[in-house]
Amino acid sequence: MPLESIARVTGRGVPLRGEDVDTDRIVPARFLRAVTFDDLGRHAFEDARAEARSRGTLHPFDDPRYAGGAVLLVGRNFGCGSSREHAARAIAKRGVRALVGESFGDIFAGNATALGIPCACVAREDGDVILRNVEVEPATMIEVDVDRLRIRAGEREFAFHMPVAVQRALLDGAWDPIADLLAREAAIGATAARLDYLRWARPKAETE
Amino acid sequence: MGRSLFDKVWDRHTVGELPDGRTQLFIGLHYVHEVTSPQAFAMLDDLGLGVRMPERTVATVDHVVPTDLPMRRREGARRLPFSDAVAEGMTAALESAAKRFGIRLLAAGSETAGVVHVVGPELGLTQPGMTLACGDSHTSTHGAFGSIAFGIGTTQVRDVLATQTLAARRLAVRRIVVDGSLGPGVYAKDVILHVIRSLGTSAGAGCAYEFAGSTVDTLSMEERMTLCNMAIEGGARVGYCNPDETTFAFLRGRPHAPAREAWDGAVDYWRSMASDGDASYDGVARFDAARIAPTVTWGITPGQAIAVDERIPYPDEGQTVADRSVIREALEYMKLDPGAPIAGTPVQVAFIGSCTNGRLSDLREVARYLSGHRVARGVRALVVPGSMSVARAAEAEGIDAVFRDAGFEWRSPGCSMCLGMNDDRLVGDQTCASASNRNFKGRQGSSTGRTLLMSPVMVAAAAIAGAVTDARDVFDMRPRSNPDAS
Ligand code: SF4
């Protein structure tokens, strides 16, 4: 079941300054108290947004100038910390379809990929230029071209990188790998067969 | 050319190459918990899929469990419901999925309850040479046994449930070598905080960290778990130590360790998976244990750490623009002054627990020094054992009494104030001396709460002094007897 190919994401930007923005900040743990992902959009950056309000400023996600933005512009090590997929989903529910930043937490980037959201790594200076560009001119269109590994921001173009396998998965519409994983039933069985440790266990003890 | 443990384990578990070039990797053991996994069972239902190897899947409930309950909260075979309705709903959802798919459940309130990264190893489920996954970033903990353990997101939890495999990219392997003896009052926690402080919080991106060197060789399994637990805080999704006699001795006789007939073969396999002496690495970083002091974080990332006798940095001490901006942000959030010593920073809460430092040896080490001391007035001090079995063993040794006498609350096991998903939370901008692993903004349940990470012994010292202080002074620590020292 091939999915849609993600070759290009185009939209306005949402400039989110800051480094080491962890997944606790993206979705504070108290909003993980649920068995579904349904309510997450509302809680994205909830504490950071409240903090901004209390200073009389607006968090980029509340700033009408950036409303409807599809490309989230971030700094270094975005999405570090916990594995909660809630973080990537909360951002997706706010309409974000691609991220551009200096670097990303590994697990976050994997979670975003599994949702079909490219995380594009750019040189620090380039990221700054794009971010400032959007702050000054929020209508700037940003295009993340996964095929050519280029970002166009207004008139300028920048290179970005992402792991080759991730790029291919996005282009091939295989970013959710479940179909490919299921397709190799026999090979999975063969791998299990050569792992002796699967058979060392004592008989299954009573489950409490 | 020799190979690293990472490469050996990876190759042995490779099912094949996916069309996009990623590896389809077999996962030998899968832990699931109530926060990140119920949604994955719902995804299975949507796709009409089942659980491929329920016998290789183990469920725990730890993040939301209240810790103010009597230790064992059951009536016959039935668990008594939590009064927290949301926690109850999340727990019940996981329990029913476990039942429906035939997955072993280490049930809340039972003797096998506890934080997944504490109970898995203590039951002998985690073993060398395995691949392992859990929808939790601190799954890296299990690498202490020489397994390759991945923290994964919920969609990947679904993948592992359905196929017992993951789509993964091979990681680079970076060797973190620590040599020499640790001084008195210096622990595995200080080592890992020091490593992260030195290398940075994103240096491990795309890497597995192999911890090695004479210091690591002499660490106990519980200390190695502390080390690997926080590999993720350095950006490394995987951290591991090579299995050795310490590992085998720890596993022998545990409920899920290999049966007696299989033991020798198991040890042979485990030994064979250890990194070869001439293995090549994608980088080596070396540290001298003697130069590591009790270490404390002052900021909002685990890399913002300093020795207890150092001063809080000024923004212009950051090496890059990004570092300087995070220092500024941290100073403001933490309400700390640059240039001030970290020692003397007042704390209102002290927390000992979590999958980093909530194990028996952690509690024992604190109890060794705690008798005769009292928690300072105005400080709330909590001990939350990492598991029921830690709690039981500690109680059998009278450790609970030592903590209670000193003014600590002795609570029942769970994640608790490590992330504040139950009622154990900071209030307002309280500052907490914490033996956990993350000092992110808002991490301990209050959006303005402040966390200072440190070893459990340093937490105890802070609780007693009411402020960050050098535990070596408070507890008058003598150098550890060291036969090599002159
Ligand atoms: S103790 Fe803390 S870090 Fe460990 S699993 Fe629980 S919440 Fe996560």
Who contacts B244 (Cβ-Cβ below 8 Å, separation ≥6)? B217, B274
Question: How far apart (Å, rounded) are the C-alpha atoms in residues B479 and B185?
Answer: 8
- Tell me the pLDDT band of A34, cut-offs 50, 70 and 90: confident
Interface predicted TM-score of the whole assembly (ipTM), two decimals: 0.94
Asked whether the beta carbons of residue A205 and residue B255 sit closer than 8 angstroms, the reply is: yes
Interface residue of A26, A91, A107, A184 to substitute, partner B, most B CBs within 10 Å: A107
For A20, the closest of B19, B156, B201 (CB atoms) is B201
Asked whether the beta carbons of residue B13 and residue A191 sit closer than 8 angstroms, the reply is: yes
Q: Which CATH class is domain B5-168?
A: alpha beta
- Tell me the pLDDT band of B485, cut-offs 50, 70 and 90: very low
Asked whether the beta carbons of residue B258 and residue A200 sit closer than 8 angstroms, the reply is: yes
- Are the C-beta atoms of residues A87 and A110 closer than 8 Å to each other? no
Token pair listed for A17: 């300054």
Percent of chain B's residues with pLDDT above 90: 90
Q: How far is the CA of A81 from the centre of ligand 1 (A)?
A: 11
| pTM confidence score | 0.95
Q: What is the dihedral of CA B382, B92, A198, B209, to 10 degrees?
A: -40
Question: Can you give the three-state secondary structure of chain B, one letter per residue?
Answer: CECCHHHHHHHHCEEEECCCCCEEEECCEEEEECCCCHHHHHHHHHHCCCCCCHHHEEEECCCCCCCCCCCCCEECCEECCCCCHHHHHHHHHHHHHHHHHCCEEECCCCCCCECHHHHHHHCCCCCCCCEEEECCHHHHHHHHHCCEEEECCHHHHHHHHHHCEEEECCCEEEEEEEECCCCCCCCHHHHHHHHHHHHCCCCCCCEEEEEECHHHHHCCHHHHHHHHHHHHHHCCCEEEECCCHHHHHHHCCCCCCCCHHHHHHHHHHHHHHCCCCCECCCCEEEEEHHHCCCEEECCCCCCCEEECCCECCCHHHCCCHHHHHHHHHHHHHHCCCCCCECCCCECCEEEECHHHHCCHHHHHHHHHHHCCCCCCCCCEEEECCCEHHHHHHHHHCCHHHHHHHHCCEECCCCCHHHCCCCCCCCCCCCEEEECCCCCCCCCCCCCCCEEEECCHHHHHHHHHHCECCCHHHHCCCCCCCCCCCC
For B86, the closest of A33, A37, A190 (CB atoms) is A33
Reported as a single tens digit per residue, the pLDDT across A69-84 is 999 999 999 999 999 9
Same fold? B5-168, B295-473: yes
Out of A119-133, B197-211, B382-396, B468-482, pick the least confident.
Answer: B468-482
What is the fold of B295-473? Aconitase; domain 3 (3.30.499)
**pLDDT over 80 at B478, yes or no:** no
**pLDDT over 70 at B75, yes or no:** no
Write b or e for each residue in A47-73: b if 16 or more Cβ atoms lie within 10 A of its Cβ, otherwise e: bbbebbeeeeeebbbebeebeebbbbb
Strand partners, B23: B17, B168
Is A105's Cβ below 8 Å from some Cβ in B? yes
CA-closest candidate to residue B52, choices B163, B182, B179: B163
- Tell me the pLDDT band of B80, cut-offs 50, 70 and 90: confident
* Residue linked to tokens 């750490």: B305
**pLDDT over 80 at B71, yes or no:** no
Who contacts B46 (Cβ-Cβ below 8 Å, separation ≥6)? none
Interface residue of B426, B440, B443 to substitute, partner A, most A CBs within 10 Å: B440
Question: How far apart (Å, rounded) are the C-alpha atoms in residues B315 and A22?
Answer: 20
Question: How far apart (Å, rounded) are the C-alpha atoms in residues B62 and B66?
Answer: 9
- Are the C-beta atoms of residues A150 and A9 closer than 8 Å to each other? no
Q: How far is the CA of B355 from the centre of ligand 1 (A)?
A: 6
Rounded mean pLDDT, B303-330:
96
Question: How far apart (Å, rounded) are the C-alpha atoms in residues A85 and A108?
Answer: 7
pLDDT at A35 (0 to 100) = 86
Task: Give the minimum alpha-carbon distance from A208 to chain B in angstroms, rounded to a whole number.
Answer: 6
Rounded mean pLDDT, B221-239:
98
pLDDT at B486 (0 to 100) = 42
Element (H, E) at A9: strand A8-15
Asked whether the beta carbons of residue A188 and residue B52 sit closer than 8 angstroms, the reply is: yes
- Ligand 1 near B113 CB (within 6 A): no
Rounded mean pLDDT, B220-228:
98
For A176, the closest of B155, B441, B447 (CB atoms) is B155
Question: How far apart (Å, rounded) are the C-alpha atoms in residues B337 and B399?
Answer: 37
Asked whether the beta carbons of residue A177 and residue B22 sit closer than 8 angstroms, the reply is: yes
Task: Give the minimum alpha-carbon distance from A32 to chain B in angstroms, rounded to a whole number.
Answer: 7
Q: Which residues of chain A make contact with B269, given a CB cutoff of 8 A?
A: 196-197
Q: How far is the CA of B229 from the centre of ligand 1 (A)?
A: 10
- Ligand 1 near B13 CB (within 6 A): no
Interface residue of A5, A80, A182 to substitute, partner B, most B CBs within 10 Å: A80
Q: Which residues of chain A make contact with B87, given a CB cutoff of 8 A?
A: 33
Rounded mean pLDDT, B271-283:
97
Asked whether the beta carbons of residue B19 and residue A174 sit closer than 8 angstroms, the reply is: yes
Is B172's Cβ below 8 Å from some Cβ in A? no
Q: Quote the crossing angle between the two packed helices B456-465 and B360-370, to the nearest 10°.
A: 40
B473-to-B184, B305, B348 alpha-carbon distances in Å: 11, 20, 20
Is A139's Cβ below 8 Å from some Cβ in B? no
Question: How far apart (Å, rounded) are the C-alpha atoms in residues B154 and B141?
Answer: 19
- Tell me the pLDDT band of B69, cut-offs 50, 70 and 90: confident
Task: Give the minimum alpha-carbon distance from A140 to chain B in angstroms, rounded to a whole number.
Answer: 25
Token pair listed for B284: 């080596």
Going by alpha carbons, the residue nearest to atom 6 of ligand 1 is B415
Question: How far apart (Å, rounded) are the C-alpha atoms in residues A171 and A180?
Answer: 15
pLDDT at A190 (0 to 100) = 98
Phi and psi for B155 in degrees, rounded to 5? -65, -35
Rounded mean pLDDT, A5-10:
97
Please report the residues numbered 420 through 449 in chain B whose beta carbons come closer than 8 angstroms to any beta carbon of chain A: 420-421, 438, 440-443, 445, 447
Who contacts B318 (Cβ-Cβ below 8 Å, separation ≥6)? B324, B325, B326, B327
- Tell me the pLDDT band of A205, cut-offs 50, 70 and 90: very low
Write b or e for each residue in B181-192: b if 16 or more Cβ atoms lie within 10 A of its Cβ, otherwise e: bbbbbbbbbbbb
pLDDT at A207 (0 to 100) = 36
Q: Which amino acid is at B199?
A: L
Rounded mean pLDDT, B231-248:
98
Is A44's Cβ below 8 Å from some Cβ in B? no
What CATH number does domain B172-291 carry, 3.30.70.380, 3.60.21.10, 3.40.1060.10, 3.30.2350.10? 3.40.1060.10
Element (H, E) at A14: strand A8-15
Q: How far is the CA of B63 from the centre of ligand 1 (A)?
A: 7
Q: How far is the CA of B226 from the centre of ligand 1 (A)?
A: 12
Is A54's Cβ below 8 Å from some Cβ in B? no
**pLDDT over 70 at B484, yes or no:** no
Strand partners, B132: B29, B149
Rounded mean pLDDT, B13-25:
96
- Are the C-beta atoms of residues A73 and B142 closer than 8 Å to each other? no
Q: Is the dihedral of CA B98, B102, B106, B109 positive or negative?
A: positive
> Nearest chain B Cα to A80, which residue?
B235
Mean confidence (pLDDT) of chain B: 95
CA-closest candidate to residue B244, choices B125, B124, B129: B129
Q: How far is the CA of B438 from the centre of ligand 1 (A)?
A: 9
- Ligand 1 near B5 CB (within 6 A): no
Q: Which residues of chain B make contact with A29, given a CB cutoff of 8 A?
A: 63, 419-421, 443, 445
- Are the C-beta atoms of residues B314 and B435 closer than 8 Å to each other? no
Tell which one of B60, B64, B138 to mutate to probe ligand 1, the residue whose CB is within 8 A of the most ligand atoms: B138
Reported as a single tens digit per residue, the pLDDT across B392-430 is 999 999 999 999 999 999 999 999 999 998 889 999 999
Q: Which residues of chain A make contact with B255, given a CB cutoff of 8 A?
A: 202, 205
Asked whether the beta carbons of residue A184 and residue B15 sit closer than 8 angstroms, the reply is: yes
CA-closest candidate to residue B188, choices B142, B148, B220: B220
**pLDDT over 90 at B77, yes or no:** no
Question: How far apart (Å, rounded) are the C-alpha atoms in residues A65 and A85?
Answer: 28
Residue B423 CA to chain centroid, in angstroms? 21
**pLDDT over 90 at B12, yes or no:** yes
Going by alpha carbons, the residue nearest to atom 2 of ligand 1 is B418
For B154, the closest of A76, A85, A176 (CB atoms) is A85
Task: Give the minimum alpha-carbon distance from B475 to chain A in angstroms, rounded to a whole number.
Answer: 33
For B163, the closest of A19, A33, A182 (CB atoms) is A182
Write b or e for each residue in B425-453: b if 16 or more Cβ atoms lie within 10 A of its Cβ, otherwise e: bbeeebbbbbbbbbbbbbbbbbbbbbbbb
| Beta strand ranges found along A48-107 (DSSP E) | 71-73, 98-101
**pLDDT over 70 at A208, yes or no:** no
Atom of ligand 1 nearest to the CA of B117: 5
Q: Where are the domains of chain B?
A: 5-168, 172-291, 295-473
